[in-house]
Amino acid sequence: MRKLILVLVGVALCTVGYSHVFTNPTSDSVSNEVSAPFYEREMQYKGHKKTSYYVMMDDSIRLAVNVYLPKGLKKGEKIPAILFQTRYWRGVGLKWPFSGLVDIVPHTANFPVLEFPKYGYGLVTVDVRGSGASEGNKTLTLCDIREVLDSKNMIDWIVEQDWCDGNVGATGVSYIGNTAMYALYNQHPNLKAIVPTYSLWDIYDDVSAPGGIYFHQFISQYGDFCESLDQNIIPESRNARGKKLSYGVERVKGYNKKDMVEIMNQHTCNHYHRTEGGTAAFMDDQFTLNGDFRVKDVMSPHQFADKIRGSGAAIYSWSGWWDAAFSHAAIRQFINLDDGRNRLRLGPWNHGGGANVSPTMAKASEFDDVKEVVRFFDFHLKGMDNGLDKSPRVYYYTMGENVWKTSDVWPVAAERKPLYLTSNGADWNASTDTESITSYTVDTTHTVGLNSRWSFDTNRTGITYANASSEDSITAVFTLAELSEDMEITGHPQVNIYLKSATEDGSIFAYLEDVDENGNVWKVTDGQFRFVHRKLHGTAPHYKDVVPYHSYLKVDALPMDTSKAEFMSFEMLPTSHLFKTGHKIQIRLAGVDLENFKNLYPNGGSWEIYHDAVHPTHVELPVIDRRLIMGAN
């Protein structure tokens, strides 16, 4: 009977708990189709025992905390702690009789954190101030300095507990992954290792305006989502069945509904990204929160990279190829913070890793993420000699081929091979024409839809791009002849284009596609860019990168000269994909992604794309020498 009830709860709560995973510890969840990093480690405990508390911060604000210890942990035995700080509820409050049967930690996607106690860790989940059952309010949707300081207070409290051995790690998905990164700002000596997954590095380029184009879909929906949670309401985007089983965020033991009303009243002062971010035209724009507030003033991890490096903590950055712009964010984390111990994992995942969205293979993810995180924490928190230090530090998945590969550096060695756009499609050889132009009228209805890389809803099954050939009539398409041999692209493609625009500003969306032998078109990766940001700088002044640097500052804005072709260079998001023999490489260009990004053509627009001897428009592809591949099966 208990098992039947648990199944029913699981079905109903596939939404209250946002995305969560019930796991079978006796099964091997690694896909048979790939050789993923795998850790042979048995669970030490069968479950967990939960307690809840209010913990007071140094400004007298109390945060709601759940502690999950291994069930059967002996009195006096000490274990490491894993900190999970969230603004999406530290736990879902279930109505009787379900409340005594199951615990739900929401927004964990393919990352069931309640497995950690089974491996001998104490899990501490925290509602950050101004959210969940915690007191206070949030001055920003994302972390502000007060929230960052709270993590120091929390770690101080954790190491004082009689079960903690003094070693602390932190992890989480998305916002929660970033709280792990922000915690390093304090350089707390007990915080030894973190695993920030599917999380940002530069708030402007990763979230507010990737490529300089306002990300209206996420910013508006995310604000609505957070506001619902902060008022103890299950968001409309979640399954209504869950509302019948849950009363909202889990209360701290001993507190009632009336107590929660008083706390929720404090949350009414919260600010949300949809008002903070404005239209994010420039990184130094000022917004409505106060006269001095700018996107660049929000705490992005890159702004305190020196403090992170000085923390002494080991970092395992983690993302998916179809995880919005966060695959590039994870790479930036790795190359800017690496001290020889840090690691990077890039898989075939959407945001949160709930789905394997490798083209032609979309399905639920079958990778055992928790064991890989446990391997990292076992080495750095428990001091276990498990071979982590002898294994490659970069794991990446090649889509199309569907195998894992390894490296110790990023980017991996590749030939930067230009694919030239021509009047006849695409060619490896540059055009010798005196003048060659493709005219394109911007279709302002074009979109890749909501089931794309730009969906942050971890409750979705994954990326479901329709066959892109349906877009042919409203986009500009350049197709290469069939490949005579396999070609692997791994790294950061770069678009170098000469374009004459009928408007002084505008946007371009570029898609790298794989056309199979049956004519099916699969998106491989994409990039986008706003014209006025095209001024190039030699290097980024604030962090290292492997792509062209644009400041996104108002002082560097360059309106297009509508009388001539102007040069623009911008990156596509990183990928690893095998184009097979007989397939075709294809480049698709559009001016708008209506459902996701701001339309910069309110009165219409048109281009002339130049691709001749004087204007060698091309996409630079990072081509791998297949003879030198490491780790492929």
Q: Domain of 565: which CATH number?
A: 2.60.120.260
Question: In the listed set 349, 372, 407, which residue is the last one of a domain according to the structure?
Answer: 407
3-state DSSP of 266-294: HHCCCCCHHHHCCCCCCCCCECCCCCCCE
Residue 461 above 80 pLDDT? no
Instruction: Provide mean pLDDT across the span 157-184.
Output: 96
Considering the domain architecture, whether residues 432 and 286 belong to the same structural domain is answered as no
pLDDT at 111 over 90: no
Pair 208, 327 in one domain: yes
Asked if 174 is an active-site residue, the reply is: yes
**Pair 179, 126: CB distance under 8 Å:** no
Same domain, 420 and 403: no
Q: Does the annotation count 351 as an active-site position? A: yes
182 membership: H or E segment, kind and range: helix 175-183
Percent of the chain exceeding pLDDT 70 equals 86
Domain end (from 379, 407, 435): 407
| Weakest-pLDDT range from 19-33, 35-49, 365-379 | 19-33
The region of weakest confidence among 10-14, 147-151, 445-449 is 10-14
Point out the catalytic residue in the list 151, 174, 317, 358: 174
CATH code of 159's domain: 3.40.50.1820
Evaluate whether residue 633 is within a structural domain: no
Any idea which of 309-313, 314-318, 462-466, 529-533 has the lowest mean pLDDT?
Answer: 462-466
Same structural domain, 401 and 547: no
3-state helix, strand, coil in the chain (%, to 5): 25, 25, 50
What per-residue confidence (pLDDT) applies to 473? 85
Q: Which residues contact 7 (CB under 8 A, 6 or more apart)?
A: none
Read off the pLDDT of residues 408-439 as tens digits, 9 standing for 90 and up: 999 999 999 999 999 999 999 999 999 999 99
pLDDT digits (tens, 9 = 90+) for 535-590: 999 877 889 999 999 999 999 999 999 999 999 999 999 999 999 999 999 999 99
pLDDT of residue 5: 45
Amino acid 373: pLDDT:
95
Tokens of 127: 């509602």
Given a cut of 60, is residue 23 above it in pLDDT? Answer: no
Give the mean pLDDT of 270-299: 61
**Which amino acid is it at 516?**
D
Which residue range forms the structural domain that includes residue 509?
415-628
Does residue 512 carry a pLDDT above 60?
yes
pLDDT per residue as tens digits for the range 339-348: 999 999 999 9
Per-residue confidence (pLDDT) for residue 100, from 0 to 100: 77
Distance CA 241, CA 238 (A): 9
- CA–CA gap between residue 620 and residue 547 (Å, rounded): 11
Is 316 inside any structural domain? Answer: yes
HSE, side-chain direction, 13 A CA sphere, residue 331: 24
Using the structure block, give the residue that is written with the tokens 């869950």: 242
Q: Are residues 215 and 358 in the same domain?
A: yes
- Catalytic residue, chosen from 323, 368, 457, 593, is 323
Q: What is the pLDDT of residue 7?
A: 41
Q: Which residue bears the tokens 């409203």?
A: 474
Asked if pLDDT for residue 292 goes beyond 60, the answer is no
Average pLDDT over residues 80-93: 95
Tell me which residue of 496, 514, 507 sits closest to 578, measured CA to CA. 514
Instruction: Report CA-CA distances (Å) from 311 to 73, 306, 346, 479, 544.
Output: 30, 9, 24, 49, 19
Catalytic residue among 188, 271, 328, 351: 351
Residue 319 in any domain: the answer is yes
Buried/exposed 511-532: b ≥16 CB within 10 Å, e otherwise: bbbbbbeeeebbbbbbbbbbbb
DSSP 430-463: PP--S--EEEEE--TT----SSSTT---TTS---
Q: Residue 138: pLDDT above 80? A: yes
- Asked if the structure places residue 130 within a domain, the reply is yes
Please check whether residues 474 and 343 belong to one and the same domain: no
What is the C-alpha to C-alpha distance for residues 167 and 313, in angstroms, rounded to an integer?
11
Contact (Cβ atoms closer than 8 angstroms) between residue 302 and residue 543: yes
pLDDT at position 297 is 58
User: Is residue 156 pLDDT above 70, yes or no?
Assistant: yes
pLDDT score for 289:
46
Helix or strand holding residue 477 (H, E): strand 476-479
Shared domain for 369 and 317, answered yes or no, is yes
Using the predicted structure, report yes or no on whether residue 16 has a pLDDT greater than 50.
Answer: no
Residue 457 sits in the same domain as residue 373: no
Paired sense of beta strands 343-347 and 314-320, if any? parallel
Question: At 459, is the pLDDT very low, low, confident or very high (cuts 50, 70, 90)?
Answer: low
| pLDDT score at 153 | 98
CA distance 514 to 447: 19
**Domain check: are 172 and 203 in the same one?**
yes
Residue closest to 118 by CA, chosen among 388, 374, 376: 374
| Residue 141 scores a pLDDT above 80 | no
Residue 578, token pair as written in the block: 């095998």
Nearest CA among 271, 138, 575, 543 for reference residue 397: 575
Give yes or no for a contact between 153 and 136, defined as CB atoms under 8 angstroms apart. Answer: no
Letter string b/e over residues 88-104, b meaning 16 or more CB atoms within 10 A of that residue's CB:
bbbbbbbeeebeeebbb
If you average pLDDT over every residue of the chain, what do you get?
87
Q: For 207-219, how does the pLDDT look when each residue is reduced to its tens digit (9 = 90+)? A: 889 999 999 888 8
- Say if CB 342 and CB 317 are below 8 A apart: yes
* Number of folded domains that form the chain: 2
**Where among 380, 407, 434 does a domain terminate?**
407
| 323 in catalytic set | yes
User: pLDDT band at residue 242, thresholds of 50, 70 and 90?
Assistant: low
